[in-house]
Amino acid sequence: MSSGASNLLLELRGCTIRFGGLTAVSALDLHIGEGELIGLIGPNGAGKTTVFNLITGVYQPTEGEISFAGKSIVGSKPYHITEHGIARTFQNIRLFPSLSVFDNVRVAFHLHLLSGLSHALVRGKNFLREESAIAEEVMSLLQIFRLDGHANTEAKNLPYGDQRRLEIVRALATKPKLLLLDEPAAGMNPTEKVDLMNLIRHVQDKFKLSVLLVEHDMKVVMGTCQRIAVLDYGQKIAEGAPDEIRSNLKVIEAYLGDAHA
């Protein structure tokens, strides 16, 4: 799956967003090919999550263009963008706390649902068949992530690490082509982080996904990503393979300050 950028999936061209006087992201160019695992790093407040919110339609860019699979997605609502095939997780976990683990994933099948309101009321043969097919798919997804034992637990009662993993499962249930992970390793201990890295690679391979990973933890990013883009004050200051980034003076400066450069 290292076909590189031969098949362009997501492309940001000159994306800028300003909040009043603050330019949160400035003229950002970023591209992700099919099957790529790209890291997006940068110090606190560099604009990483803002980039996620731009891609997923939570914010609209002030200037610039975002296209996915050849089509512009600027101006689309978040649920349309998910429909196109972009799924995300959240930096501060946003599960549906009162729904069970099972239902959290089930809800995410919404996009591929044939039955609507009237079917739910009539409860005919096709409706029941679809419901049980979805239930099976949900359970097999949960099995992959070893969450099937918690299927009936309310999401808010899940241990922290499991909540993070459930967010990934839920995002996968929308059947995306591109998965955006916003600091999936935040708050995890070193063992959990190693597990998570293996999991991300496994998921990417199994579901034939492209992944954009925002992460603070250098070990996680350097260990999983094929290519890394570095943001500082909303500007891309470097992009390249993990080794190039590690030795890039600008990056070291951004993270450690110029006295060390």
Partner 1 sequence: MRRFAAQLCLLGGLLASYLFYLGAPYIDSYWLHILTLVGINVTLAVSLNLINGYTGQFSLGHSGFMAIGAYTAAATTLLAGPKLLPLLGGAQSTLGVGALFFFALLAGGILAAIAGLVVGGPSLRLKGDYLAIVTLGFGEIISVIFRNIPSLGGALGLTGIPPHTNVFWTYGVAAITIYTVLALVHSTYGRGFIAVRDDEIAAEAMGINTTRYKITAFVLGSFFAGIAGGLFAHQISAIDPRGFTFMRSIEIVVFVILGGMGNTLGVILAAVLLTILTEYLRGIGEWRMLIYSFLLIVLMLTRPQGLFRWKFGPRVKPAANPTLSS
Where on the chain is the footprint of partner 1 (CB under 8 A)? Answer: 56, 58, 77-79, 82-83, 87-88, 90-99, 103, 106-111, 113, 115-117, 119-121, 123, 125, 127-128, 130-131, 134, 156-160, 163, 170-171, 173-174, 183, 186-187
Tally: H helices and E strands in the chain: 10, 10
- The Cα–Cα gap between 28 and 230 comes to 11
Beta bridge partners of residue 65, listed in sequence order: 13
- Please identify, using beta-carbon distances, which residue of 220 and 238 lies nearer to partner 1: 220
For residues 80 and 111, is the Cβ–Cβ distance under 8 A? no
Question: Least distance (Å) from partner 1 to the CB of residue 1?
Answer: 25
- Please identify, using beta-carbon distances, which residue of 132 and 198 lies nearer to partner 1: 132
- Please identify, using beta-carbon distances, which residue of 120 and 249 lies nearer to partner 1: 120
Question: Least distance (Å) from partner 1 to the CB of residue 259?
Answer: 28
- Please identify, using beta-carbon distances, which residue of 77 and 206 lies nearer to partner 1: 77
- The Cα–Cα gap between 3 and 6 comes to 6
- Please identify, using beta-carbon distances, which residue of 149 and 159 lies nearer to partner 1: 159
Question: Least distance (Å) from partner 1 to the CB of residue 140?
Answer: 16
Beta bridge partners of residue 229, listed in sequence order: 40, 239
Q: Give the end-to-end CA distance of the chain in Å, rounded to a whole number.
A: 36
Question: Least distance (Å) from partner 1 to the CB of residue 181?
Answer: 13
Question: Least distance (Å) from partner 1 to the CB of residue 95?
Answer: 7
- Please identify, using beta-carbon distances, which residue of 110 and 219 lies nearer to partner 1: 110
For residues 87 and 174, is the Cβ–Cβ distance under 8 A? yes
- The Cα–Cα gap between 24 and 87 comes to 22
- Which strands form 86-88's sheet, in the order they lie side by side? 86-88, 178-182, 210-214, 37-41, 227-232, 235-240
Question: Least distance (Å) from partner 1 to the CB of residue 192?
Answer: 13
AA letter at 30: L
